[in-house]
Structure 1
Amino acid sequence: MSSRPDATTKRADGRHGGPWRAVGAVVVVLLAMLGSGLIGAALKSTDTPRPPQPVAGTVGPTANGPLAEADLDGAERTPTGLPRATPTSIVIPRIGVRASIMALGTNPDGTVQVPPLDQALLAGWYEPGPSPGEPGNAVIVGHVDSAAIGPAVFFSLGALQPGDTVTVERADGRAATFRVDSVASYPKNAFPTEQVYGPSNRPGLRVITCGGQFDEATGDYPDNVIVFASLTP
């Protein structure tokens, strides 16, 4: 997919492995192949600010689920998760994000929807997957920028560091707070589909946007910036 500002339908960063609650691995692979585009409608001026970029990396062991923490008696404890509830907003203190969240589904071609470009300051939750706080990997996506408004909701996502927090407020009145495990940039053709959309029995969060140097020729970003985070105990 192209990230051109005039595109009416955007594919999501890295093939959202179809609702893993309802479909199998074959569909996950298919969506990974289809969703090579990104969440961004790039700024075209060469003098516009550039989004911060994390290091290019490989998914580490903490990307698959939260690290267990030790109680005072030395026993490990892992968050058990919350019931399902619609997320309403996302708060990321380090980069000054406080944004409402809309629910997203899947496009007819199997790619994941993203927020409309005229609402590029909103984040989007992949509703067929787990909700933030539930066991499993909840996925939230958002634009990095827009030709219409400039820097968008996740413009500074690449500046996050391990240990930072991401809080998702939910319709049930609860807030799920996640600790960042790792942040990395991946070429779209090497998107870590399984680590982002694969099943997990632990509550995790994946936050995704565009990354890399915008390509004026293709009207697209070449990479995805992905934050891997775990629910705090």
Structure 2
Amino acid sequence: MLDTGDAPVPADRRRGRHALPAAAGILTVTAALTIGLAVAGRGGDPPRPDASAAASAANASAVPATGPGELTSGPLMAGSPPTRVSIPSLKATAAIVALGLEADGAMQVPDSATDVGWFTKAPTPGALGPAVLAGHVNWKGRRGTFFDLGTLPVGAGITVDRQDGSTAMFTVSKVEQYPKDRFPTAEVYGATDHAALRLITCGGEFDDTTQHYRDNVIVYARLAHAHPA
């Protein structure tokens, strides 16, 4: 059963900071994302991100020297669970389901090609810190909502509808692809000075021996507008 409730807001986040999750939790979640989203049937190798565009945008997403975790710029929204994500440049939209943890500590994953999951142990989209949405490249022979995630250009918009009726509008700052054994845990889940969003799926070549994709594609975005403001 998926946990549909909102994750509690830690005291340090209420004071204007987002704490780095415990190391053991990060490693467990990383394993779930790099393995769980890879299986489910091959539907062709997904497109790779534009490496030059990702490199040129690296500085735009860096945490300013004023101190990691401090809100220094940009809008911020109160916590509210997400219900739907839309990526106009990919002509993609999907319902969002809540992803908690399995009994063994691994993160749950969506059980369909179309649904996208929000990790409930991370912030809600629009709140301070990195909200995490995960989706399949393919699932049981069907292309997933995030199949073309690697083609997203820097500056593209991502819209997340939320349970309280508000809408969080994000702008992509970079898109990168990493081998699964070099997943950038701290950059994905670590403290930020703004309301951030991470979209995660599998990528690269499909390994017929292991029945997994070899890489992960990660989209980094930050909150640009909140409606209502």
Output the TM-score relative to the length of structure 1. Answer: 0.76
**What's the offset of the Cα at 1:41?**
3.1
- The answer to whether structure 1 residue 160 and structure 2 residue 155 are counterparts is no
Say if 1:23 and 1:138 are closer, same or farther in 2 by CA, change over 3 A: closer
Structure 1 residues 193-218: Cα deviation after superposition (integer angstroms, max 9, x where no partner): 11111122310000000001111111
Structure 1 partner of 2:122: 129
Structure 1 residues 170-195: Cα deviation after superposition (integer angstroms, max 9, x where no partner): 11111100000000100111111111
Structure 1 residues 2-55: Cα deviation after superposition (integer angstroms, max 9, x where no partner): xxxxxxxxxxxxxxxxx99788543245426744424133544xxx54321114
- The answer to whether structure 1 residue 91 and structure 2 residue 89 are counterparts is no
Structure 1 partner of 2:75: 80
Cα distance in 2 for partners of 1:55, 1:103 equals 30
**What's the offset of the Cα at 1:146?**
1.8
Structure 2: which 5+ runs fail to align?
1-9, 65-71
Q: CA RMSD in A?
A: 2.7
Check the 8 A contact 1:214/1:220 in 2, yes or no.
yes
**What's the offset of the Cα at 1:86?**
0.9
**What's the offset of the Cα at 1:64?**
4.5
Structure 1 partner of 2:214: 222
Say if 1:105 and 1:33 are closer, same or farther in 2 by CA, change over 3 A: closer
Cα distance in 2 for partners of 1:171, 1:86 equals 5
Check the 8 A contact 1:62/1:181 in 2, yes or no.
yes
Identify the structure with the greater helix proportion. Answer: 2
**What's the offset of the Cα at 1:112?**
1.6
- The answer to whether structure 1 residue 141 and structure 2 residue 139 are counterparts is no
- The answer to whether structure 1 residue 207 and structure 2 residue 204 are counterparts is no
Aligned residues: percent identity? Answer: 39
Cα distance in 1 for partners of 2:31, 2:172 equals 28
- The answer to whether structure 1 residue 31 and structure 2 residue 28 are counterparts is yes
**What's the offset of the Cα at 1:120?**
1.7
SS in 1 for 2:35: coil
Check the 8 A contact 1:179/1:232 in 2, yes or no.
yes
Check the 8 A contact 1:102/1:124 in 2, yes or no.
yes
SS in 2 for 1:181: strand
Structure 2 partner of 1:231: 223
Structure 1 partner of 2:186: 194
* Corresponding residue to 1:40 among 38, 51, 58: 38
**What's the offset of the Cα at 1:113?**
1.3
Structure 1 partner of 2:103: 108
SS in 2 for 1:213: strand
Cα distance in 2 for partners of 1:65, 1:110 equals 30
Structure 1 residues 88-136: Cα deviation after superposition (integer angstroms, max 9, x where no partner): 00000111111000010122333221101xx220000001110000010
Cα distance in 2 for partners of 1:173, 1:144 equals 29
The letter for the 2-side match of 1:165 is G
Check the 8 A contact 1:38/1:224 in 2, yes or no.
no
Cα distance in 2 for partners of 1:141, 1:30 equals 16
Cα distance in 2 for partners of 1:188, 1:127 equals 22
Structure 1: which 5+ runs fail to align?
1-18, 67-76
